[in-house]
Amino acid sequence: MTHYIYLVRHGEQQDAEHGVEDGPLSPRGRRQAEALADRLSGVPFDAVWHSPLQRTSETARYVAERMPAIEPQPHALLFDCVPTGITDETPAAYEPFFGAVTEAQIEAGRAQMADAAAEFLVRKAGEVHELLITHNFVISWFVREVLEAPEWRWMTLNQTHCGLTVIAQKPGRPWSLITHNDVAHLPVELRTGLPEELEVLV
């Protein structure tokens, strides 16, 4: 019996490019969420959790419309965050990113992701399917954690809006990465959210 966790980044946010911290999904974001909901409609989810922010809450609502038996729940450990600061191993190219990040934000992000790993990366009995609708950096940290990669490597992992990442654990085995940023359900025009140099490759 396997414990599956499906990790999804929220759909594209309206006016995100103008520096708005949170807001509703854009028309394209709604289409992304609908495509995701269709993709996941056959999965027998035991729980659906989402960040309390509006863009993640709306993405979860679209999923729930396709699967009325589930009831998405907000979870504070899925908020967007920065899980580490610069480490001794962090390449210099990433240093500018941290210029606008405070030590308090980093400390809070580190504590949040430690708690999130302790909360979610715990083997549950039987066949379990859980969906977490969250943010790019949170998913990156979960994947890094499962792969036991150096802390700074979360910065090299990116997810499209409504891309699908799946991790799983069988009894007696460590967590495994099943798929990362699967976008098969998204037509090319809906594949947004990656750095520009990567979007042309998916």
**For 4-13, how does the pLDDT look when each residue is reduced to its tens digit (9 = 90+)?**
999 999 999 9
The CATH number of residue 191's host domain is 3.40.50.1240
Q: Which two tokens stand for residue 48?
A: 């659906």
Euclidean distance between CA atoms 163 and 10, whole angstroms: 8
Give the list of residues 6+ apart from residue 100 with CB closer than 8 angstroms, or none. none
pLDDT digits (tens, 9 = 90+) for 61-90: 999 998 888 899 999 999 999 999 998 999
Q: What pTM was computed for the model?
A: 0.93
How many folded domains does the chain comprise? 1
Chain-centroid distance of CA 44 in Å reads 20
**DSSP category for residue 25:** B
* pLDDT of 123: 83
Query: Average pLDDT over the chain, rounded to whole?
Result: 92
Over range 98-117, report the average pLDDT.
95
Structure confidence at residue 196 (pLDDT): 66
As a whole number, mean pLDDT of residues 146-172 equals 95
Query: Would you say 135 and 80 are in contact if contact means Cβ atoms under 8 Å apart?
Result: yes
Alpha-carbon distance of 198 to 192, in angstroms, equals 10
Q: Which domain holds residue 26?
A: 3-199
Q: Does position 52 have pLDDT exceeding 80, yes or no?
A: yes
Residue 124: band (very low, low, confident or very high) from pLDDT cuts 50, 70, 90 = confident
Q: What is the torsional sign of CA 19, 25, 31, 37?
A: positive
Q: Is the pLDDT of residue 18 over 60?
A: no
How far apart are the C-alpha atoms of 60 and 72, rounded to whole Å?
A: 6
For residue 156, count other CB atoms closer than 10 A to its CB.
Answer: 11
* CA pair distance 198, 202, nearest whole angstrom: 7
Give the C-alpha separation, 159 to 172, whole Å.
29
Q: What is the average pLDDT across 145-155?
A: 95
- Looking at residue 8, what is its pLDDT? 98
Question: pLDDT category, 146, cuts 50, 70, 90?
Answer: very high
What pLDDT, on the 0 to 100 scale, is given for residue 17? 55
- Band the pLDDT of 56: cuts 50, 70, 90: very high
